Structure 1
Amino acid sequence: MSDTTQAPAATGSTPASGRPAPRFPLPALIVMACTTFIGIVTETMPAGLLPQIAGGLRVSDGSAGQLVSAYAVGAVLGAIPAVMLTRGARRKPLLCLGLLGFLLANTATALAPDLPVALAVRFVAGAFSGLLWGMLAGYAIRITAPERAGRALAIAMTGIPLALAAGTPLGTWLGTTVGWRWAFAGTALFTAAILAGALIVVPDAPGQHAHTRIPLRKVLRIPGLATILAVVFGWLLAHNLLYTYIAPYLRQEHLDLTPDVALVIFGVAAIGGVWITGTLVDRMLRRLTLASLGLFIVAGVILLAAHGSTPLAILAIILWGLAFGGSATQLQTAAGAATGEHADAAISMVTTAFNLAIFAAGAVGAIIVDGVGAKSLPAVMTILAAVALIGVGFGRRAAFRTGR
């Protein structure tokens, strides 16, 4: 999972114990990718359907927008407690429980009679999201041979860019065509299919042994983890500032590019970033993370120089997607490599840092857009990414280790 890990010379090699190497669990990882896909779609779909939801629940657009906030609050408050309370539980029942929670929450959202019920349901959905995001990375690593753990994690996280590129736009189209309730009902139906797949093809794995569990504060003190969390927050804040406020940025720069097209371009490029990460992360985690942040900064600089040039803006968005697409895999792999047996607890902290960055981006971005204007967002994005790059640079010993 780190630069110090060296892959075997040939596929299918036999370990020193004489036992054959375990098969790569591709079907199970595809189910996990579908789980991350449905998690992102469930989280982001209300943002594309605010007018329809507001009309259906007879509230303002701003009030309907709190469905996104309620979900995020549930994820922030639920991730660490849920993972810490279930560290000893077997992984497959936990995965199925999380998917069942998504299924029930999306069904209940589709049937919600008013806003308070919908908000409560979304909060619960966010809590299940915190549980799933906190355990999926460790689960993917547990069922895979160590020398291929990074690739397994990349496949499991493929659902993120796929959801951003296709899932959320498809849900928005369905909601505007046949009604927002049917969009959530369709999401629930897809979740049921994923749950069936999990029951059939995903192998079980044990939780953490009781004698190896340590308090959360001691997990946080593991060398390298604090640096990783700082990089997570800085990089995700840099990304979400522009991603959240892409519409006012495109409008103020007078670019001949609509937000939905820009986000599809970003999502498709991010899939390429996931593929590159899956290919390289097991052999060169540190160099890959440095290169990704460097490319992210280049994208920000090009956006600063675009000044109304749509071709330059498209190039920057492509580079942005390539740079950011593998970030979740890189950062979670780094957390797992640094913390070993305590990876689930560490990754739950990574999940919380992700969601806190999303919160902060909404608040800070609003101040920037209303104050100095959305044109300045690429500058702030570039500065924050540079700080994150410095963090990776100083983390060579424990966080982002130097190696072959």
Structure 2
Amino acid sequence: MTSSVKPDRSGQRTVALSDEGFPLYGLLALSGAIFISMATEFLPGGLIPQIAADFDRSAGDAGHLITIFALTVILTAAPVAILTRRVPRKALILIAFALIGMGNIATVLSPSFEFLLAARVVGALAHGAFWSVVAAYPAHLVRPTQLAKATALTAAGGSVAGVVGIPLGNAVGQAFGWRVSFGVLAALVVLTGLLMAWKLPPIAVPRSIKHSSKGPPAARRDATLPAILIVCLLFILVVGAQNSFGTFNVVWLLDVAHVAPAAVPIMLFIGGVASAVGVALTGVLYNKFPIRLFLVSIAVLAGLLGSLPVVAGSEPAVWLLSALLGAVFGGVPIMLQTRMMISASPRMRNAAAALQTTAINIGIGGGAFMGGVVLDRISLDALPFWAAICMLVALAAAGVWEIYNERRRNNGPRKEKVVNHGVYG
């Protein structure tokens, strides 16, 4: 299926779908922008020791750079999505992406830790606007049967951020200083922004929103809202569990597993490659085994996190488990993102994308915050155990909902709608 651009009745250029191919170049451009956005959000996690030393702060304080970023997105993503609902989607992506670049420049120039926090807030505001559009964009470009493939392709940008961006940023930070890492990201924003302006197909603002004076459609009247909210809950639990340990992963590797500092970028690179493999496999397997693939992945993540402290004294085992964590977790957000866009009705997709962005950042910020609490009040050694327990909570929540959903499918009077709008399909 290819994307051709046509004017609608108002003169707005829109994407028209045909059956011949797949909008590969547009999705690749979007994937590149996601790479920058994800690297901007998570790069401080790989540079916590350097940032903390530069400003004479603790590792827990430096971890707040991720927390404050996520908190800003939580508070602003939905309001910004409402305020910008009539802005053409492609234009909004380009504006938000430019502001992400400005936030990175401000980060490079930060004279104090407080200024650095303010720069992160600017980047987070743009990040929330960016993701409130990006999360739904592939659903407007491809048919439902291609959504898992399209989502995996755009999400590959996040995987590349893990494979190249964050490990390379860590290495550059060690060699030249953490500010240089953010400077490189700022330069990449310019190149990627030009590529998006050239190759990303535009889509129209939904007519129900464009011609409404009362705001977005009433979500309470939409039958898909319960499934949307459940997916949001699972995002919070899974991402929160992962980030409660992942935010301080480098600190744990250095101080508990005693991995040499020079080996950390290599380990992060291997984990990123494994994550990319997980994304690719998810794109292939998800449509065949949506329920089992998700539940098994969460169970395996809990087991791997709980095993890390046990093998901390064996560096080869730590390397292996870290790679497996990357591979398994890499596909989990793809499953949830795909389910969100399949579950949401067309008129709810943009609202679902904003709620999804909020939920992800609640998980990121809440996970980083709770990880910092465990680090400061219990011990660094306990972090993987805490993350494993949180992951089991996510597994229990997913299992309970699936049991409930199965009973509705079997016994409910509206069987067809339950099948279409269930969390896993």
Q: Give the TM bin, normalised by the shorter chain.
A: 0.7 to 0.9
Q: Which residue of 2 aligns with 1:185?
A: 183
The one-letter amino acid paired with 2:247 is T
Which residues of 2 match residues 113-128 of structure 1 at below 5 A? 114-128=112-126
Give yes or no for the alignment of 1:350 onto 2:346: no
> Which deviations, in whole Å up to 9, do the C-alpha atoms of 1:300-329 show, x marking residues without a partner?
343354352333333322221121101221
Quote the offset at 1:167 in angstroms. 0.6
For 1:83, the equivalent position in structure 2 comes to 81
Cα gap change, 1:395 to 1:337, in 2 (>3 Å):
farther
Cα 1:356/1:284, change in 2 over 3 Å: same
Tell me which amino acid in the other structure corresponds to 2:76: G
Number of residues paired by the alignment?
384
Alignment counterpart, residue 231 of structure 1, candidates 226, 231, 234: 234
Within 5 Å, which residues of 2 pair with 1:151-300?
A: 151-210=149-208, 213-215=216-218, 222-250=225-253, 253-254=256-257, 256=259, 259-300=264-305
| Rounded Cα–Cα distance in structure 2 between residues aligned with 1:367 and 1:122 | 21
Q: Distance in 2 between matches of 1:114 and 1:365?
A: 24
- Alpha-carbon distance in 1 for matches of 2:256, 2:113: 36
With structure 1 as the length reference, what TM-score do the two structures score?
Answer: 0.83
Deviation at 1:274, TM superposition (A): 0.6
Matching residue within 306, 327, 339 for 1:334: 339
Q: Does 1:106 align with 2:104?
A: yes
Instruction: Measure the CA separation in 2 of the matches of 1:123 and 1:307.
Output: 35
Query: What is the CA RMSD across the aligned residues, in angstroms?
Result: 3.0
Identify which range, 354-363 or 369-378, moves more after superposition: 369-378
| Residue range with higher mean Cα deviation, 282-291 or 155-164 | 282-291
Pairing 1:310–2:315 present: yes
Hey, what's the Cα distance between the residues in 2 that align with 1:246 and 1:53? 15
Distance 2:372 2:382 in 1: 12
Q: Is the 8 A contact 2:45 2:247 kept in 1?
A: no
Deviation at 1:140, TM superposition (A): 1.4
Report the CA distance between 1:388 and its aligned residue.
1.7
Once residues 69 and 101 of structure 2 are traced to their aligned partners in structure 1, the CA distance between those partners, rounded to angstroms, is 15
Asked if 1 retains the 8 angstrom alpha-carbon contact of 2:162 and 2:275, the reply is no
What amino acid is the match of 1:207? V
Q: Deviations over 1:181-219 (max 9, x none)?
A: 443332222111111111111111112332693246667
- Check conservation: 2:274, 2:324, Cα contact below 8 A: yes
Alignment of 1:134-153 (within 5 A): 134-153=132-151
Deviations 1:45-73 (A, max 9, x none): 344456766787xx433576654444333
Residues 207/364 of structure 1: CA separation in 2 closer, same or farther (3 Å cut): same
Q: 1:55 to 1:96 in 2, by over 3 A?
A: same
Q: Which residue number in structure 2 is paired with residue 7 of structure 1?
A: none
1:233-256 Cα shifts (integer Å, max 9, x gaps): 111122112212324544565455
Compare 211-220 and 285-294 and name the one that shifted more. 211-220
Q: Which residue of 1 aligns with 2:384?
A: 378
- Whole-Å Cα distance in 1 between the matches of residues 162 and 357 of structure 2? 18
Which runs of no fewer than 5 residues in structure 1 stay unpaired?
1-10, 13-18
Task: Say which is worse superposed, 149-158 or 299-308, in terms of deviation.
Answer: 299-308
Q: Provide the rounded CA distance (Å) in 1 between the counterparts of 2:319 and 2:154.
A: 28
1:113 CA drift (Å): 5.0
| Among candidates 127, 130, 135, match of residue 128 of structure 2 | 130
Contact 1:164–1:264 (CA<8 Å) still a contact in 2? Answer: yes
Distance 2:70 2:328 in 1: 24
**Alignment check: 8 A CA contact 1:87 1:207 kept:** yes
How far apart, CA to CA, are the structure 2 residues paired with 1:22 and 1:80? 36
Separation of aligned partners in 2, 1:241 and 1:130: 21
CA shift at 1:29, angstroms? 1.2
Residues 267 and 370 of structure 1: CA distance in aligned 2, closer, same or farther (over 3 Å): same
Contact 1:227–1:399, Cα closer than 8 Å, also in 2: no
2:424 maps to 401
Partners in 2 of 1:338 and 1:329 — Cα distance?
A: 14
* The one of 368, 391, 397 aligned to 2:397: 391
TM-score, reference length from structure 2: 0.80
Q: Which moved more, 1:286-295 or 1:188-197?
A: 286-295
Residue among 355, 364, 374 paired with 1:368: 374
8 Å CA contact 2:278–2:330 kept in 1: the answer is yes
More divergent stretch after superposition (253-262 vs 160-169): 253-262
Give the Cα–Cα distance (whole angstroms) in 2 for the partners of residues 180 and 65 of structure 1: 14
Q: Establish whether residue 60 from structure 1 lines up as the match of residue 56 from structure 2.
A: yes
Distance in structure 2 (CA, Å) of the matches to 1:144 and 1:66: 38
Identical counterparts, % of pairs: 28
What's the CA shift for 1:386?
A: 2.3
Greater alpha carbon shift after TM alignment, 383-392 vs 184-193: 383-392
Answer yes or no: is the 8 Å Cα contact 2:45–2:63 preserved in 1: yes
Contact 1:392–1:399, Cα closer than 8 Å, also in 2: no
